[in-house]
Amino acid sequence: MSVAGRVIVYGGRGALGSTVVNVFKKNQFWVCNIDMQENTEADHNIIVTGDTWTQQEENVCAEVGNIMNDEKLDALLCFAGGWAGGSPGSKDFIKNAETMWRSSVWPSSISAKLACEYLKEGGLVVLPGAQPAVKGTPTMAGYGMAKAAVHQLVASLAGPKSGLPANCTSLAILPNTLDTPMNRKWMPKADTSTWTPLVYVADLMVKWTSGEERPDSGSLVSLVTQDGITSTQPSKVGQ
């Protein structure tokens, strides 16, 4: 059966990743999920194993190599991540910072490597940034450090000699608050009219994968929702 294209979703079992997998499947894409758990909607699942950065990289890359054959990807979309607070002076600063590095930088880096090897020319790689991390984040310093590293990686991928195939686009999405079940559970009194719907993000990924309305490579794309309406605001590292 012919497919509209091929995508890998790294972190395709979380709230956002699952929505992205679902929307791509509805648009007739072949989808591979890479995560700690399976997503039964995906065509293929790769379970992340390994206690170190290099072990995870070796295992994930080997599994992707086994399933790709001579195929190439239209997009590699990473939504893996997490959140932990804490100022540099807090008791758990180093512990939480290490957790944030593992949950954000490790999967983004592995995604970048996979993108360099398996994207087709003109393909797309999207990594998970965050709006707060474009400036200081004193009450969640580890989180801000990790997300800022992801922003830098996006800029590096967009530069010459990064290893990406010709005419590929490297982007980060920078949501403020996503409208997830867990956010609704833990912030029941928040103004959800400023929260970005997951389906909006998923539809945006399909558009960008198809070459529609893509920002310039290296852009950090803020997702700004006001009164229930979301818009995109691209910028670059250092701007």
Buried b (16+ CB within 10 A) or exposed e, 187-223: eeeeeeeebbbbebbbebbbebbbeeebbebbbbbbb
Decide: residue 129, CB within 10 A, 0-12 exposed, 13-18 middle, 19+ buried.
Answer: buried
Q: In which order are the strands placed within the sheet that holds 44-47?
A: 44-47, 30-35, 6-10, 73-78, 119-128, 169-175, 219-226, 229-235
Active-site residue, from 10, 118, 143, 200: 143
Cβ–Cβ < 8 Å for 233, 227: no
Q: Is residue 10 annotated as a catalytic residue, yes or no?
A: no
**Residues that are catalytic:** 143
